[in-house]
Structure 1
Amino acid sequence: MTARPDEGTPCWADAMFTDVERAEALYADVLGWTFGASAAEYGNYVLARADGSAVAAVVPPAPGQQGPAQWCLHLASPDAAATAARVRDHGGEVLMQPMRVGDFGTMCLAREPGGAVFGVWQGDTHEGFEATAVPGAYCWAEIRTREPERTDAFFTAVFDYTVRGIEGGMNGFRVYDLGGRTVLGRMRMTDDLPPETPSYIEVYFTVADCDAAVAAAGRHGSAVRYGPADSPFGRWAALTDPQGARFSVIDITTARGEKPQAEDVVRAPDG
Protein backbone atom coordinates (compact mmCIF):
# COMPACT_ATOMS: atom_id res chain seq x y z
CA MET A 1 0.00 0.00 0.00
CA THR A 2 1.30 3.45 -0.88
CA ALA A 3 2.07 5.58 2.17
CA ARG A 4 -0.34 8.44 2.71
CA PRO A 5 1.16 11.90 2.22
CA ASP A 6 2.38 13.66 5.35
CA GLU A 7 0.04 16.25 6.82
CA GLY A 8 0.55 19.57 5.03
CA THR A 9 1.85 18.01 1.81
CA PRO A 10 0.29 19.44 -1.38
CA CYS A 11 -1.82 16.53 -2.59
CA TRP A 12 -4.39 17.80 -5.11
CA ALA A 13 -5.38 20.76 -7.31
CA ASP A 14 -8.69 21.68 -8.87
CA ALA A 15 -10.33 24.74 -10.38
CA MET A 16 -13.83 26.10 -10.82
CA PHE A 17 -14.73 27.35 -14.30
CA THR A 18 -17.96 28.87 -15.54
CA ASP A 19 -17.16 27.45 -18.99
CA VAL A 20 -15.81 23.97 -18.27
CA GLU A 21 -15.66 22.94 -21.93
CA ARG A 22 -13.50 25.94 -22.77
CA ALA A 23 -11.19 25.13 -19.86
CA GLU A 24 -10.92 21.50 -20.93
CA ALA A 25 -9.95 22.54 -24.47
CA LEU A 26 -7.24 24.87 -23.19
CA TYR A 27 -5.65 22.53 -20.65
CA ALA A 28 -5.83 19.60 -23.05
CA ASP A 29 -3.78 21.64 -25.52
CA VAL A 30 -1.37 23.16 -22.99
CA LEU A 31 -0.86 20.23 -20.61
CA GLY A 32 -1.96 17.24 -22.65
CA TRP A 33 -4.81 16.41 -20.31
CA THR A 34 -7.64 14.04 -21.08
CA PHE A 35 -10.90 14.30 -19.18
CA GLY A 36 -13.33 11.77 -17.80
CA ALA A 37 -17.10 12.07 -17.65
CA SER A 38 -18.56 14.62 -15.26
CA ALA A 39 -19.93 13.19 -12.02
CA ALA A 40 -23.36 14.73 -11.50
CA GLU A 41 -23.60 13.41 -7.95
CA TYR A 42 -20.43 15.37 -7.09
CA GLY A 43 -21.33 18.71 -8.66
CA ASN A 44 -20.23 17.67 -12.19
CA TYR A 45 -16.65 17.31 -11.01
CA VAL A 46 -14.38 16.17 -13.87
CA LEU A 47 -11.03 14.42 -13.36
CA ALA A 48 -8.10 15.40 -15.57
CA ARG A 49 -5.48 12.78 -16.44
CA ALA A 50 -1.95 12.99 -17.80
CA ASP A 51 -0.77 9.79 -19.45
CA GLY A 52 -3.53 7.92 -17.61
CA SER A 53 -2.79 9.28 -14.12
CA ALA A 54 -5.20 11.55 -12.24
CA VAL A 55 -3.48 14.92 -11.83
CA ALA A 56 -6.19 17.57 -11.29
CA ALA A 57 -9.88 18.32 -11.77
CA VAL A 58 -12.21 21.00 -13.10
CA VAL A 59 -15.74 21.75 -11.97
CA PRO A 60 -18.48 24.27 -12.76
CA PRO A 61 -19.60 26.61 -9.97
CA ALA A 62 -22.54 25.56 -7.87
CA PRO A 63 -25.63 27.77 -8.13
CA GLY A 64 -24.92 31.05 -6.37
CA GLN A 65 -21.15 30.46 -6.27
CA GLN A 66 -20.17 32.23 -9.48
CA GLY A 67 -16.88 34.08 -9.18
CA PRO A 68 -13.49 34.45 -10.86
CA ALA A 69 -11.85 31.17 -11.86
CA GLN A 70 -8.87 30.13 -9.77
CA TRP A 71 -6.77 27.09 -9.06
CA CYS A 72 -7.06 25.69 -5.54
CA LEU A 73 -4.25 23.72 -3.95
CA HIS A 74 -5.28 21.09 -1.39
CA LEU A 75 -3.06 20.08 1.53
CA ALA A 76 -3.15 16.59 3.00
CA SER A 77 -4.61 15.95 6.44
CA PRO A 78 -5.30 12.77 8.42
CA ASP A 79 -8.22 14.56 10.10
CA ALA A 80 -9.87 17.38 8.16
CA ALA A 81 -12.05 18.38 11.13
CA ALA A 82 -9.02 18.79 13.39
CA THR A 83 -7.21 20.81 10.72
CA ALA A 84 -10.27 23.03 10.28
CA ALA A 85 -10.29 23.65 14.03
CA ARG A 86 -6.63 24.73 13.94
CA VAL A 87 -7.41 27.02 10.99
CA ARG A 88 -10.04 28.80 13.11
CA ASP A 89 -7.86 28.83 16.23
CA HIS A 90 -5.01 30.58 14.43
CA GLY A 91 -6.87 33.35 12.66
CA GLY A 92 -7.94 31.64 9.45
CA GLU A 93 -11.44 31.23 8.07
CA VAL A 94 -13.16 27.96 7.22
CA LEU A 95 -15.08 28.69 4.02
CA MET A 96 -16.55 25.22 3.69
CA GLN A 97 -16.89 22.89 6.63
CA PRO A 98 -15.37 19.39 6.30
CA MET A 99 -17.60 17.44 3.94
CA ARG A 100 -17.47 13.77 3.06
CA VAL A 101 -17.18 13.13 -0.71
CA GLY A 102 -18.49 9.60 -1.21
CA ASP A 103 -15.77 7.09 -0.41
CA PHE A 104 -13.11 9.33 -1.95
CA GLY A 105 -12.33 11.32 1.20
CA THR A 106 -13.23 14.43 3.16
CA MET A 107 -12.55 18.00 2.06
CA CYS A 108 -12.87 21.51 3.37
CA LEU A 109 -11.91 24.95 2.10
CA ALA A 110 -10.14 27.62 4.12
CA ARG A 111 -8.64 31.09 3.84
CA GLU A 112 -5.43 32.01 5.63
CA PRO A 113 -5.16 35.45 7.32
CA GLY A 114 -3.25 36.90 4.37
CA GLY A 115 -6.20 36.07 2.10
CA ALA A 116 -5.08 33.02 0.10
CA VAL A 117 -7.66 30.25 -0.27
CA PHE A 118 -6.57 26.61 0.02
CA GLY A 119 -8.15 23.21 0.44
CA VAL A 120 -7.69 20.47 3.02
CA TRP A 121 -8.03 16.87 1.85
CA GLN A 122 -8.37 13.79 4.04
CA GLY A 123 -7.95 11.05 1.49
CA ASP A 124 -9.68 7.69 1.51
CA THR A 125 -9.92 5.83 -1.81
CA HIS A 126 -8.62 8.98 -3.53
CA GLU A 127 -5.42 10.10 -1.83
CA GLY A 128 -4.59 12.80 -4.37
CA PHE A 129 -2.11 13.17 -7.21
CA GLU A 130 -1.35 9.90 -8.98
CA ALA A 131 1.69 11.51 -10.60
CA THR A 132 3.81 14.61 -9.98
CA ALA A 133 6.74 16.30 -11.72
CA VAL A 134 6.05 14.64 -15.07
CA PRO A 135 4.57 16.39 -18.13
CA GLY A 136 1.01 17.45 -17.38
CA ALA A 137 1.31 16.96 -13.61
CA TYR A 138 1.69 19.26 -10.62
CA CYS A 139 5.23 19.97 -9.47
CA TRP A 140 5.29 23.09 -7.25
CA ALA A 141 3.23 25.88 -5.68
CA GLU A 142 3.89 29.28 -4.13
CA ILE A 143 1.74 31.29 -1.76
CA ARG A 144 1.60 34.88 -3.04
CA THR A 145 0.60 37.07 -0.09
CA ARG A 146 0.45 40.74 0.87
CA GLU A 147 0.93 39.84 4.54
CA PRO A 148 3.85 37.38 4.63
CA GLU A 149 4.45 37.54 8.37
CA ARG A 150 0.83 36.65 9.16
CA THR A 151 0.87 33.96 6.48
CA ASP A 152 4.03 32.35 7.87
CA ALA A 153 2.72 32.44 11.45
CA PHE A 154 -0.55 30.84 10.38
CA PHE A 155 0.84 28.00 8.28
CA THR A 156 3.50 27.04 10.83
CA ALA A 157 0.78 26.87 13.50
CA VAL A 158 -1.64 24.79 11.42
CA PHE A 159 0.94 22.47 9.84
CA ASP A 160 4.35 21.23 10.98
CA TYR A 161 6.22 23.53 8.62
CA THR A 162 9.61 25.15 9.12
CA VAL A 163 10.16 28.40 7.20
CA ARG A 164 13.54 29.13 5.63
CA GLY A 165 14.92 32.00 3.61
CA ILE A 166 16.57 31.59 0.23
CA GLU A 167 19.92 33.16 -0.60
CA GLY A 168 19.21 36.20 -2.79
CA GLY A 169 15.48 35.49 -2.69
CA MET A 170 13.43 38.22 -4.36
CA ASN A 171 10.34 39.72 -2.75
CA GLY A 172 11.12 38.12 0.58
CA PHE A 173 10.89 34.62 -0.90
CA ARG A 174 10.71 31.82 1.67
CA VAL A 175 10.24 28.07 1.53
CA TYR A 176 8.21 25.82 3.80
CA ASP A 177 9.91 22.58 4.77
CA LEU A 178 8.10 19.51 6.08
CA GLY A 179 10.01 16.58 7.49
CA GLY A 180 13.21 17.70 5.78
CA ARG A 181 11.52 18.24 2.39
CA THR A 182 10.71 21.58 0.80
CA VAL A 183 7.02 21.46 -0.09
CA LEU A 184 5.90 25.06 -0.75
CA GLY A 185 7.18 28.52 -1.54
CA ARG A 186 5.97 31.84 -0.15
CA MET A 187 6.46 35.21 -1.84
CA ARG A 188 5.45 38.76 -0.95
CA MET A 189 3.12 40.24 -3.56
CA THR A 190 4.49 43.40 -5.15
CA ASP A 191 2.91 46.62 -6.38
CA ASP A 192 3.04 45.20 -9.92
CA LEU A 193 -0.31 43.59 -9.17
CA PRO A 194 -3.39 45.79 -8.80
CA PRO A 195 -4.26 46.39 -5.13
CA GLU A 196 -7.59 44.63 -5.59
CA THR A 197 -5.82 41.39 -6.53
CA PRO A 198 -6.24 39.07 -3.53
CA SER A 199 -3.53 36.83 -2.13
CA TYR A 200 -3.52 33.44 -3.85
CA ILE A 201 -1.56 30.25 -4.44
CA GLU A 202 0.24 29.90 -7.77
CA VAL A 203 0.20 26.27 -8.97
CA TYR A 204 2.97 25.06 -11.31
CA PHE A 205 2.39 22.29 -13.83
CA THR A 206 5.19 20.38 -15.54
CA VAL A 207 5.49 20.56 -19.33
CA ALA A 208 7.86 18.98 -21.83
CA ASP A 209 8.44 22.28 -23.67
CA CYS A 210 7.72 25.59 -21.94
CA ASP A 211 7.68 27.69 -25.10
CA ALA A 212 5.32 25.30 -26.85
CA ALA A 213 3.00 25.32 -23.84
CA VAL A 214 2.97 29.14 -23.78
CA ALA A 215 2.20 29.24 -27.51
CA ALA A 216 -0.65 26.77 -27.03
CA ALA A 217 -2.04 28.82 -24.15
CA GLY A 218 -1.88 31.93 -26.31
CA ARG A 219 -3.93 30.27 -29.03
CA HIS A 220 -6.71 29.88 -26.48
CA GLY A 221 -6.54 33.52 -25.36
CA SER A 222 -4.35 33.18 -22.27
CA ALA A 223 -2.20 36.10 -21.14
CA VAL A 224 1.50 35.75 -20.33
CA ARG A 225 2.33 37.41 -17.01
CA TYR A 226 6.01 36.46 -17.04
CA GLY A 227 8.43 34.55 -19.22
CA PRO A 228 9.23 32.22 -20.71
CA ALA A 229 12.48 32.48 -18.76
CA ASP A 230 15.30 30.18 -17.75
CA SER A 231 15.94 29.46 -14.07
CA PRO A 232 17.94 27.04 -11.90
CA PHE A 233 14.72 25.01 -11.59
CA GLY A 234 13.74 24.94 -15.26
CA ARG A 235 12.36 27.11 -18.04
CA TRP A 236 9.03 28.52 -16.91
CA ALA A 237 6.28 31.02 -17.55
CA ALA A 238 3.38 32.48 -15.57
CA LEU A 239 0.01 32.58 -17.33
CA THR A 240 -3.56 33.69 -16.78
CA ASP A 241 -6.15 31.69 -18.66
CA PRO A 242 -9.10 33.37 -20.44
CA GLN A 243 -11.39 32.81 -17.45
CA GLY A 244 -8.94 34.44 -15.05
CA ALA A 245 -7.24 31.44 -13.42
CA ARG A 246 -3.53 32.00 -12.77
CA PHE A 247 -1.08 29.13 -13.20
CA SER A 248 2.52 28.51 -14.25
CA VAL A 249 4.17 25.97 -16.53
CA ILE A 250 7.73 24.72 -16.16
CA ASP A 251 10.05 22.39 -18.04
CA ILE A 252 12.14 20.98 -15.19
CA THR A 253 14.56 19.25 -17.58
CA THR A 254 16.06 22.55 -18.77
CA ALA A 255 17.44 24.01 -15.53
CA ARG A 256 20.03 26.74 -16.02
CA GLY A 257 22.38 28.02 -13.33
CA GLU A 258 23.11 27.03 -9.76
CA LYS A 259 20.20 26.53 -7.39
CA PRO A 260 20.15 29.03 -4.51
CA GLN A 261 20.86 27.72 -1.04
CA ALA A 262 18.40 27.84 1.83
CA GLU A 263 19.44 30.10 4.68
CA ASP A 264 18.94 29.78 8.42
CA VAL A 265 15.55 28.98 9.84
CA VAL A 266 13.33 32.05 9.82
CA ARG A 267 10.50 30.58 11.88
CA ALA A 268 9.98 27.11 13.25
CA PRO A 269 6.72 25.74 14.59
CA ASP A 270 6.19 26.02 18.35
CA GLY A 271 6.97 22.93 20.35
Structure 2
Amino acid sequence: MAENGASAQRASAYAEGVPCWVDAQLSDVRAGKRFYGGLFGWTFEEMRPGAPAWATLDGEPVAALVPKTDGRMPTVWTVYFAARDAVGLAGRIREAGGQIVTPPEPADGLGTTALVADPQGAVFALLQPAPGADGTAFAGFGRRHEPGTFAWAELYTRDTEAANAFYGDLFHDALFGPGAAPDVGRAAVTDVFPAEMPPHFLVHFRVEDCEAALGAVGRLGGRVRVPPFETSYGTVAVVSDGQGASFALLQR
Protein backbone atom coordinates (compact mmCIF):
# COMPACT_ATOMS: atom_id res chain seq x y z
CA MET A 1 0.00 0.00 0.00
CA ALA A 2 1.30 3.40 -0.88
CA GLU A 3 1.75 5.92 1.88
CA ASN A 4 3.03 9.45 1.92
CA GLY A 5 6.20 10.65 3.59
CA ALA A 6 4.44 12.11 6.61
CA SER A 7 2.78 8.82 7.57
CA ALA A 8 6.00 6.87 6.99
CA GLN A 9 7.88 9.23 9.26
CA ARG A 10 5.32 8.86 12.05
CA ALA A 11 5.11 5.09 11.68
CA SER A 12 8.88 4.65 11.81
CA ALA A 13 8.87 6.08 15.34
CA TYR A 14 6.91 3.18 16.89
CA ALA A 15 9.12 1.52 19.46
CA GLU A 16 8.84 -2.15 20.34
CA GLY A 17 5.76 -2.81 22.44
CA VAL A 18 3.77 0.21 21.22
CA PRO A 19 0.35 -0.55 19.67
CA CYS A 20 0.93 0.23 16.00
CA TRP A 21 -1.92 -1.31 13.99
CA VAL A 22 -5.39 -2.87 14.23
CA ASP A 23 -7.47 -5.02 11.95
CA ALA A 24 -10.88 -6.67 12.02
CA GLN A 25 -11.62 -10.19 10.77
CA LEU A 26 -15.00 -10.01 9.02
CA SER A 27 -17.18 -12.36 6.99
CA ASP A 28 -18.51 -9.48 4.88
CA VAL A 29 -15.88 -6.83 4.21
CA ARG A 30 -18.23 -4.85 1.97
CA ALA A 31 -20.71 -4.48 4.83
CA GLY A 32 -17.81 -3.58 7.13
CA LYS A 33 -16.76 -0.81 4.79
CA ARG A 34 -20.27 0.66 4.87
CA PHE A 35 -20.40 0.49 8.67
CA TYR A 36 -16.97 1.89 9.50
CA GLY A 37 -16.99 4.36 6.64
CA GLY A 38 -20.27 5.74 7.95
CA LEU A 39 -19.13 5.76 11.57
CA PHE A 40 -15.58 7.11 11.31
CA GLY A 41 -15.42 8.66 7.83
CA TRP A 42 -12.92 6.08 6.61
CA THR A 43 -12.27 5.48 2.93
CA PHE A 44 -10.87 2.21 1.66
CA GLU A 45 -8.27 0.81 -0.71
CA GLU A 46 -8.06 -2.82 -1.86
CA MET A 47 -4.93 -4.22 -3.47
CA ARG A 48 -6.93 -6.94 -5.26
CA PRO A 49 -10.24 -8.82 -4.88
CA GLY A 50 -10.27 -10.84 -1.67
CA ALA A 51 -7.40 -8.87 -0.14
CA PRO A 52 -7.75 -6.82 3.05
CA ALA A 53 -9.43 -3.44 2.68
CA TRP A 54 -7.09 -0.72 3.94
CA ALA A 55 -8.93 2.00 5.84
CA THR A 56 -7.58 5.52 5.48
CA LEU A 57 -8.48 8.86 7.01
CA ASP A 58 -7.35 11.95 5.13
CA GLY A 59 -5.22 9.66 2.99
CA GLU A 60 -3.33 7.99 5.83
CA PRO A 61 -3.68 4.38 7.06
CA VAL A 62 -5.66 3.79 10.24
CA ALA A 63 -6.88 0.15 10.15
CA ALA A 64 -7.69 -2.82 7.92
CA LEU A 65 -10.74 -5.00 7.36
CA VAL A 66 -9.67 -8.57 6.61
CA PRO A 67 -11.94 -11.15 4.95
CA LYS A 68 -12.25 -14.31 7.01
CA THR A 69 -10.97 -17.37 5.19
CA ASP A 70 -12.73 -19.76 7.56
CA GLY A 71 -16.20 -19.19 8.98
CA ARG A 72 -15.09 -20.72 12.27
CA MET A 73 -12.67 -17.85 12.86
CA PRO A 74 -13.83 -15.27 15.42
CA THR A 75 -15.17 -11.92 14.26
CA VAL A 76 -12.84 -9.65 16.21
CA TRP A 77 -10.62 -6.60 16.24
CA THR A 78 -6.94 -7.41 16.85
CA VAL A 79 -4.27 -5.02 18.11
CA TYR A 80 -0.69 -5.28 16.79
CA PHE A 81 2.37 -4.34 18.84
CA ALA A 82 5.52 -3.10 17.13
CA ALA A 83 8.42 -5.58 17.09
CA ARG A 84 12.07 -5.16 16.12
CA ASP A 85 12.47 -8.94 15.72
CA ALA A 86 9.16 -10.80 15.48
CA VAL A 87 10.81 -14.24 15.61
CA GLY A 88 12.81 -13.39 18.72
CA LEU A 89 9.86 -11.72 20.43
CA ALA A 90 7.59 -14.68 19.68
CA GLY A 91 10.20 -16.94 21.25
CA ARG A 92 10.21 -14.84 24.41
CA ILE A 93 6.41 -15.01 24.54
CA ARG A 94 6.51 -18.81 24.34
CA GLU A 95 9.23 -19.02 27.00
CA ALA A 96 7.09 -16.85 29.31
CA GLY A 97 4.14 -19.24 29.01
CA GLY A 98 2.34 -17.66 26.07
CA GLN A 99 1.25 -19.34 22.85
CA ILE A 100 2.13 -18.88 19.20
CA VAL A 101 -1.17 -18.98 17.30
CA THR A 102 0.35 -18.14 13.91
CA PRO A 103 4.16 -18.11 13.70
CA PRO A 104 6.01 -15.10 12.30
CA GLU A 105 5.69 -14.93 8.53
CA PRO A 106 5.71 -12.29 5.79
CA ALA A 107 2.34 -10.59 5.33
CA ASP A 108 1.48 -8.85 2.09
CA GLY A 109 2.00 -5.12 2.50
CA LEU A 110 2.81 -5.27 6.21
CA GLY A 111 6.17 -6.90 6.85
CA THR A 112 6.48 -9.84 9.24
CA THR A 113 3.51 -10.55 11.49
CA ALA A 114 2.64 -13.13 14.12
CA LEU A 115 -0.50 -13.91 16.08
CA VAL A 116 0.18 -14.80 19.70
CA ALA A 117 -1.55 -15.15 23.06
CA ASP A 118 -0.47 -14.34 26.60
CA PRO A 119 -0.47 -17.07 29.29
CA GLN A 120 -4.15 -16.38 30.08
CA GLY A 121 -5.21 -16.59 26.45
CA ALA A 122 -5.59 -12.93 25.43
CA VAL A 123 -4.72 -12.77 21.73
CA PHE A 124 -2.66 -10.01 20.12
CA ALA A 125 -0.37 -9.63 17.12
CA LEU A 126 3.20 -8.54 16.39
CA LEU A 127 4.30 -6.38 13.47
CA GLN A 128 7.91 -6.13 12.29
CA PRO A 129 8.15 -3.67 9.37
CA ALA A 130 9.89 -4.70 6.16
CA PRO A 131 11.88 -1.94 4.42
CA GLY A 132 10.47 -0.96 1.04
CA ALA A 133 12.40 -0.36 -2.14
CA ASP A 134 12.67 3.35 -1.32
CA GLY A 135 14.03 2.68 2.17
CA THR A 136 10.74 3.40 3.96
CA ALA A 137 8.49 0.78 5.53
CA PHE A 138 4.86 0.42 6.43
CA ALA A 139 4.94 0.20 10.21
CA GLY A 140 1.37 0.93 11.20
CA PHE A 141 -0.86 3.88 11.86
CA GLY A 142 -0.38 7.04 9.84
CA ARG A 143 -2.81 8.69 12.25
CA ARG A 144 -3.79 7.79 15.81
CA HIS A 145 -5.21 9.44 18.93
CA GLU A 146 -7.47 11.60 16.73
CA PRO A 147 -11.23 11.29 16.17
CA GLY A 148 -11.86 8.30 13.92
CA THR A 149 -8.55 6.59 14.76
CA PHE A 150 -7.07 4.19 17.31
CA ALA A 151 -6.77 5.71 20.77
CA TRP A 152 -6.38 2.94 23.36
CA ALA A 153 -6.28 -0.83 23.93
CA GLU A 154 -7.57 -2.26 27.21
CA LEU A 155 -6.58 -5.76 28.31
CA TYR A 156 -9.32 -7.55 30.24
CA THR A 157 -7.66 -10.26 32.31
CA ARG A 158 -8.55 -12.55 35.22
CA ASP A 159 -5.11 -12.29 36.85
CA THR A 160 -3.88 -8.71 36.85
CA GLU A 161 -0.66 -9.49 38.74
CA ALA A 162 0.32 -12.17 36.21
CA ALA A 163 -0.54 -9.81 33.34
CA ASN A 164 1.54 -7.04 34.89
CA ALA A 165 4.53 -9.37 35.15
CA PHE A 166 4.16 -10.77 31.62
CA TYR A 167 3.72 -7.49 29.76
CA GLY A 168 6.02 -5.57 32.08
CA ASP A 169 8.85 -7.91 31.11
CA LEU A 170 7.89 -8.24 27.44
CA PHE A 171 7.35 -4.53 26.71
CA HIS A 172 9.16 -2.89 29.62
CA ASP A 173 10.58 0.11 27.78
CA ALA A 174 7.29 0.94 26.04
CA LEU A 175 5.42 0.79 29.34
CA PHE A 176 7.95 2.11 31.85
CA GLY A 177 10.98 3.45 29.98
CA PRO A 178 12.04 7.11 29.75
CA GLY A 179 9.38 9.13 27.97
CA ALA A 180 6.94 6.21 27.86
CA ALA A 181 3.32 7.24 27.25
CA PRO A 182 1.44 3.93 27.06
CA ASP A 183 -1.85 3.80 25.20
CA VAL A 184 -2.64 0.35 26.59
CA GLY A 185 -4.04 -0.54 30.00
CA ARG A 186 -5.52 -3.48 31.85
CA ALA A 187 -8.67 -4.18 33.82
CA ALA A 188 -9.70 -7.13 35.94
CA VAL A 189 -12.38 -9.51 34.71
CA THR A 190 -14.53 -9.72 37.84
CA ASP A 191 -17.75 -11.52 38.71
CA VAL A 192 -19.80 -8.78 37.05
CA PHE A 193 -18.63 -10.11 33.67
CA PRO A 194 -20.09 -13.25 32.07
CA ALA A 195 -18.24 -16.36 33.23
CA GLU A 196 -17.63 -17.38 29.62
CA MET A 197 -15.91 -14.10 28.66
CA PRO A 198 -12.26 -14.89 27.88
CA PRO A 199 -9.32 -12.56 28.54
CA HIS A 200 -8.99 -10.21 25.58
CA PHE A 201 -7.85 -6.84 24.28
CA LEU A 202 -10.58 -4.30 23.55
CA VAL A 203 -9.63 -1.80 20.83
CA HIS A 204 -10.79 1.79 21.42
CA PHE A 205 -11.39 4.38 18.70
CA ARG A 206 -11.56 8.05 19.58
CA VAL A 207 -14.73 10.05 18.92
CA GLU A 208 -15.58 13.70 19.51
CA ASP A 209 -19.06 12.99 20.93
CA CYS A 210 -19.77 9.57 22.41
CA GLU A 211 -23.56 9.95 22.42
CA ALA A 212 -23.62 11.07 18.79
CA ALA A 213 -21.37 8.16 17.82
CA LEU A 214 -23.68 5.71 19.61
CA GLY A 215 -26.57 7.05 17.56
CA ALA A 216 -24.58 6.43 14.39
CA VAL A 217 -23.75 2.88 15.52
CA GLY A 218 -27.46 2.13 15.83
CA ARG A 219 -28.38 3.70 12.49
CA LEU A 220 -25.64 1.71 10.76
CA GLY A 221 -26.85 -1.62 12.17
CA GLY A 222 -24.51 -2.03 15.14
CA ARG A 223 -25.34 -2.59 18.80
CA VAL A 224 -24.51 -0.89 22.08
CA ARG A 225 -23.03 -3.55 24.37
CA VAL A 226 -22.14 -1.34 27.35
CA PRO A 227 -23.49 2.22 27.66
CA PRO A 228 -21.08 5.09 28.39
CA PHE A 229 -19.07 4.93 31.60
CA GLU A 230 -16.21 6.99 32.99
CA THR A 231 -12.61 5.77 33.16
CA SER A 232 -9.29 7.34 34.07
CA TYR A 233 -8.60 7.82 30.35
CA GLY A 234 -12.00 9.16 29.20
CA THR A 235 -15.65 8.30 28.58
CA VAL A 236 -16.03 4.82 27.08
CA ALA A 237 -18.88 2.88 25.50
CA VAL A 238 -18.58 -0.68 24.17
CA VAL A 239 -20.32 -1.44 20.89
CA SER A 240 -20.26 -3.98 18.08
CA ASP A 241 -20.66 -3.70 14.34
CA GLY A 242 -23.41 -5.48 12.43
CA GLN A 243 -21.30 -8.65 12.24
CA GLY A 244 -20.52 -8.83 15.96
CA ALA A 245 -16.98 -7.43 16.13
CA SER A 246 -16.77 -5.56 19.44
CA PHE A 247 -14.81 -2.37 20.01
CA ALA A 248 -15.01 0.72 22.19
CA LEU A 249 -15.71 4.38 21.56
CA LEU A 250 -13.54 6.76 23.58
CA GLN A 251 -14.31 10.43 24.16
CA ARG A 252 -11.52 12.37 25.83
**Residue 9 of structure 1 pairs with residue 18 of structure 2:** yes
- Displacement, 1:105? 1.1
- Displacement, 1:226? 2.5
Flag the 1:230–1:189 CA change in 2: closer, same or farther, 3 A.
closer
| Equivalent residue letter for 1:132 | R
> What CA distance in whole angstroms lies between the structure 2 residues aligned with 1:101 and 1:144?
28
Secondary structure (helix, strand or coil) at the match of 1:182 reads coil
Secondary structure (helix, strand or coil) at the match of 1:36 reads strand
Q: How does 1:200-215 map to 2 (within 5 A)?
A: 200-215=200-215
Question: Which residue of the partner structure matches residue 36 of structure 2?
Answer: 27
Q: Name the TM-score, length of structure 1 as normaliser.
A: 0.80
**Residue 51 of structure 1 pairs with residue 92 of structure 2:** no
> What CA distance in whole angstroms lies between the structure 2 residues aligned with 1:199 and 1:193?
11
Q: How does 1:1-150 map to 2 (within 5 A)?
A: 2=9, 3-40=12-49, 44-62=51-69, 64=70, 66-102=72-108, 104-124=110-130, 125-150=137-162
Q: Name the TM-score, length of structure 2 as normaliser.
A: 0.86
- Displacement, 1:193? 2.5
What are structure 1's unaligned runs of at least 5 residues?
Answer: 163-175, 253-271
What are structure 2's unaligned runs of at least 5 residues?
Answer: 1-7, 131-136
| Equivalent residue letter for 2:240 | T
CA-to-aligned-CA distance 1:198-252 (integer Å, 9 cap, x gap):
1111111112222121111112332223333455644432112232211111232
**Residue 228 of structure 1 pairs with residue 237 of structure 2:** no
Report the count of equivalent residues: 236
| Equivalent residue letter for 1:215 | G
Runs (4+) of structure 1 exceeding 6 A deviation are none
> What CA distance in whole angstroms lies between the structure 2 residues aligned with 1:27 and 1:177?
33
Secondary structure (helix, strand or coil) at the match of 1:181 reads coil
Flag the 1:111–1:39 CA change in 2: closer, same or farther, 3 A.
farther
CA-to-aligned-CA distance 1:52-93 (integer Å, 9 cap, x gap):
21000011112x363231110000011000000001100000
> What CA distance in whole angstroms lies between the structure 1 residues aligned with 2:64 and 2:27?
14
**Residue 248 of structure 1 pairs with residue 251 of structure 2:** no
* CA RMSD between the two structures: 2.1
Quick check: 2:143–2:149 contact (8 Å CA) kept in 1?
Answer: yes
| Equivalent residue letter for 1:12 | W
| Equivalent residue letter for 1:67 | M
Secondary structure (helix, strand or coil) at the match of 2:121 reads coil
